């Protein structure tokens, strides 16, 4: 299932994804194939460290990058004020329980590396449990259509990266 993450493959990914170099590190640490990491990032944020655009979600459409300061505002809005959570960071982590879990592991949701590491680990667990990218994507997002599209993107990324 895995293929080496080479500088050439990172360069290919960097043509269409931000933070491809960080993704290469985080996917190695998570045990997720680089092609799957690229597919997830393409679906979620293009690799950008941003807040999502979920209608009614806390900080939806915020124009800046996610950082420690604005994440504290986000956390206050979601946890203390009861606002709807929203995607955070490159992997668009949304479920507020995941933020608590990340923090318990010493991971910072606003850090592109930590956000990707957590998201990639989550996707890998779903893949290992379900045995397919459709199942993994469906579990990651909650919608089967997401899983089907993730599977398609995994195939596309394998081709782009020269992986058979």
Q: Distances in Å between the alpha carbon of 150 and those of 7, 75, 76, 147?
A: 24, 28, 32, 5
Q: Is residue 2 over pLDDT 90? A: no
At 158, the pLDDT band (50, 70, 90 cuts) reads: very high
Domain that residue 94 falls in: 1-164
The reported pTM is 0.96
Helix axes of 7-14 and 20-30: crossing angle, nearest 10 degrees? 130
Which residues neighbour 6 within 8 Å (Cβ) at sequence distance 6 or greater? none
What pLDDT, in 10s, does the model give residues 46-81? 999 999 998 999 999 999 999 999 999 999 999 999
Mean pLDDT of the chain: 96
What pLDDT, in 10s, does the model give residues 99-147? 999 999 999 999 999 999 999 999 999 999 999 999 999 999 999 999 9
Q: Distances in Å between the alpha carbon of 102 and those of 57, 93, 94?
A: 20, 10, 12
Q: Where are the alpha helices (DSSP H) in the chain?
A: 7-14, 20-30, 34-44, 68-75, 96-104, 112-130, 133-141, 144-160
What CATH number does the domain containing 76 carry? 1.10.530.10
The predicted structure's pLDDT at residue 58? 97
Structurally, how many domains does the chain consist of? Answer: 1
């Amino acid at each position: 299932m895995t293929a080496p993450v080479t500088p050439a493959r990172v360069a290919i990914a960097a043509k269409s994804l931000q933070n491809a170099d960080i993704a290469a590190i985080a996917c190695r640490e998570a045990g997720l194939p680089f092609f799957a990491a690229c597919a997830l990032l393409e679906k979620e944020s293009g690799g950008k460290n941003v807040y999502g655009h979920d209608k009614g979600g806390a900080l939806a459409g915020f124009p800046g990058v996610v950082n420690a300061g604005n994440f504290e505002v986000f956390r206050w809005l979601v946890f203390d004020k009861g606002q709807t959570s929203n995607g955070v960071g490159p992997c668009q982590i949304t479920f507020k329980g995941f933020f608590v879990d990340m923090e318990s592991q010493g991971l910072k949701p606003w850090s592109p590396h930590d956000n990707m590491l957590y998201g990639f680990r989550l996707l890998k667990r779903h893949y290992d449990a379900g045995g397919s990218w459709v199942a993994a994507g469906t579990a990651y997002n909650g919608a089967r259509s997401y899983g089907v599209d993730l599977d398609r993107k995994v195939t596309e990324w394998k081709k782009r990266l020269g992986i058979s």
